[in-house]
Structure 1
Amino acid sequence: MRDAVIVDAVRTPIGKRNGSLADVHPADLGAHVLKALADRVGFEPATVDDVVWGCVSQVGDQAGSLGRVSVLAAGWPESVPSSTVDRRCGSSQQSVHFGAGLVVAGQYDIAVVGGAESMSRVPMGSAARDGAPYSASVLERYGVDDMNQGFAAEMVAAKWGLSRTRLDEYSARSHERTAVAADAGTFEGQIAPLAGLRHDEGLRRSTSVETLANLKPAFRPDGVITAGNASQISDGAAALLITTSELAAANGWQPMARVHTAVLAGDDPVMMLTAPIAATVKALQKSGLSPQDIGAFEVNEAFAPVPLAWQAEFGVGDDVLNPLGGAISVGHPLGASGAILMTRLVHHMRDRGIRYGLQTMCEAGGMANATILELL
């Protein structure tokens, strides 16, 4: 029976909005990690069956099938095809699912998966600027005038009783954990420096509960969601090589992890940030594992209520939930975030000898991916 293994994973440092990576075309962000991956592993790009690439805002600089343009920008042979995936924030995690599934099915032997997003060059919401993403029939079905992630985050905080102080405490912890990991050199083996940037640019070492408390609510005058307890707008890219154990051995490659379980879930599209809970339940049921079997959880920090509500449902310890910080401390470059998180997760698992890791992402429209990796 065929399996799907991750041979290696590499990412750019995450650049803050209008920061060090703002002048880099998103196709060149992608090209950079594609070339870095090939150099690290030593594979011939011509042997790649497909490059499955995540990107959310597919307009402007990201309109031309970003995966294909990135392949060409990397100087790879014209014979290497690519597809560009949009599952909102989970786009490049879905790229992993598509690549792994097709490898297991025997349709691909070697797949490169990942994604890129330049939110500096293509601002969030650009694709919907001149349209109405939710039709009147959908809004009527749910009895709302709009579906907004910020309002959804407020709803999640209210439902799980998460105070402003609790959210700010979590957010300060995210920066602290990233600072500790960065100072220990944890990210050096996974980052391909670019444009003079060697480290994730959004980290604010001076962040504290006290400084976060001074920020004004972003969505409601009496709300609890601020710029400080939400993910940062940013730029970045990541790429992973997926093949089978047999083919990896034949090429002399030592895989890092197996894609053990990959699932999807849908949930309330108004309170659209809760689907990671349903996706995690589904992943655990499908895998036969329990939360106690998992040594590291990456629950994307789109807003602080997302991982905290998730944690309340599963009762996992603080030590295994987002152990390296997350999107609050370093940023959330939309279509790249799934692959960036998975790169961080698989390297963390290898560094710490963790057998199982689980990653899940909330996505607009009330969806989520969940992926369980097994260390090899």
Structure 2
Amino acid sequence: MKPVIVDAARTPFGKREGWLSGVHAAELLGYAQRGVLDRVGVDPDAVDQVIGGCVTPLGEQFGNIVRTSWMHAGLPLKAGCTTIDAQCGTAQQSVQLIAGQIAIGAVDVGVACGVELMSRAPLTYKVGTGLGTPRPESWSLDTVDQYTAADRIAVKRGFSREDLDAFGLRSQQRAAAAWEAGRFDSHIIDVVAPGSDVPVHRDQGLRESSLEGLAKLRTVRKGGLHTAGTSSQVSDGASAALLMSEDRAKALGVRPSAKILAQCVIGGDTEFMLDGPVDAANIVLGRTGLTIDDIDLFEVNEAFASVPMSFAQVHGVDPELLNVNGGAIALGHPAGATGIRLLANVIDELERRNKSIALIAICASAATTCLILERI
């Protein structure tokens, strides 16, 4: 069975305590789950399985949020639903898992999705009463926090504070230009927030920036290099993708938008932690026989500016092909949903440019997800 991506879409991303912070997480994900089906006109009864992600399953996001959202949206109860946590790569891993289920013939139609309402369920240790922290007392591995890792990458690659600030400004400028040109409109699912009759359509994280202004921001870590202007934003948002077997898409008269040529999930070292996209790209390139020069567009999640900058430096990527519409620094990073945002953006951008091949990579504290897709 050959899996194909039929559609990928997302809600707008709201900033912390912003436009979407009053929407329950189950309602927000439901907008994306139902929305991606409505956009294509596929009967929800055709869906066999739903796999989605949430990095912080606490409070309203607890208890298989994917299933809760699916039921609350009035979608068929017969679909199997699973919630996963692959940290920042969660939504992309959901896509990869659904594709794998289709490839082995277990599923004909599947929905991948993800949500994070970080205003109400911030990223935090998942501590249970009397159970302590996630790591046992005997833990001896030397692991670092993500801020330290990001700064270590910058030092390793020779990036100065000024270099990072320039990348942060670039993200804001490119995202603003993309919104102005309407490049995101085609994959946005509007959300009506409580107390309002006006649908939210636009990302809230964009802000006026300048090198002078960025230079005045204090670093996240004392003595470090990254600031709020060169780090991904705390955000609220959801996303979803519809995948099918090639045969089922043909039978339903549905036009696929892309197919996955190769995918991988790898663990990273503990010293640099977030630099996984560099090695993950080598794996998917090797599996396809492609080279960097064969890739038309690159999306490397902007967890911190040093991550895509490191990727570009090591692989010799043309900056004009990397995160061409900005990234998480400007648009936001609801951790469980970001992977499909990158997917939706790159598919639309390939279509707009009449190009074919894209590579998407997302670093995470535990692993890196990476795939190469081809526009159909």
TM-score range, shorter chain: over 0.9
Q: CA RMSD in A?
A: 1.3
**How far does residue 126 in structure 1 lie from its aligned partner after superposition?**
5.0
| Residue equivalent to 1:166 | 163
Distance 2:201 2:128 in 1: 34
Distance 2:24 2:260 in 1: 31
| Corresponding position: 1:189 with 2:186 | yes
| Residue equivalent to 1:289 | 290
Distance 2:350 2:63 in 1: 35
| Residue equivalent to 2:257 | 256
* 1:238 and 1:343 in contact (8 A); partners too: no
**How far does residue 276 in structure 1 lie from its aligned partner after superposition?**
1.0
Counterpart of 2:363, as a letter, is: C
| Residue equivalent to 1:364 | 365
TM-score (norm 1): 0.95
**How far does residue 9 in structure 1 lie from its aligned partner after superposition?**
1.3
SS at match of 1:219: coil
| Corresponding position: 1:200 with 2:199 | no
334-343 or 166-175: bigger deviation? 334-343
Distance 2:324 2:127 in 1: 35
Structure 2 gap ranges (5+): 193-198
SS at match of 2:336: helix
**How far does residue 223 in structure 1 lie from its aligned partner after superposition?**
1.3
Counterpart of 1:294, as a letter, is: I
1:291-330 Cα shifts (integer Å, max 9, x gaps): 1111110000000000011111100101110001000001
TM-score (norm 2): 0.95
| Percent identity of paired positions between Structure 1 and Structure 2 | 39
**How far does residue 160 in structure 1 lie from its aligned partner after superposition?**
0.8
SS at match of 1:335: coil
**How far does residue 133 in structure 1 lie from its aligned partner after superposition?**
3.0
Runs of 4+ in 1 over 2 A off after TM superposition: 126-138
Counterpart of 2:204, as a letter, is: E
| Residue equivalent to 1:47 | 46
| Residue equivalent to 1:313 | 314
| Corresponding position: 1:233 with 2:234 | yes
**How far does residue 141 in structure 1 lie from its aligned partner after superposition?**
3.3
Q: How does 1:1-376 map to 2 (within 5 A)?
A: 2-128=1-127, 131-138=132-139, 140-142=140-142, 147-195=144-192, 196-204=199-207, 206-220=208-222, 222-365=223-366, 367-376=367-376
Distance 1:92 1:269 in 2: 23
SS at match of 1:39: helix
1:326-371 Cα shifts (integer Å, max 9, x gaps): 0000110001111111111111112212210110000113x20101
Give the direction of change, closer, same or farther, for the CA distance of 1:338–1:49 in structure 2 (3 Å limit): same
SS at match of 1:135: coil
SS at match of 1:13: coil
1:82-130 Cα shifts (integer Å, max 9, x gaps): 0001111101110011000110110000000011110011011152597
Structure 1 gap ranges (5+): none
* 1:53 and 1:85 in contact (8 A); partners too: yes
Distance 2:331 2:298 in 1: 17
The size of the alignment, in residue pairs, is 368
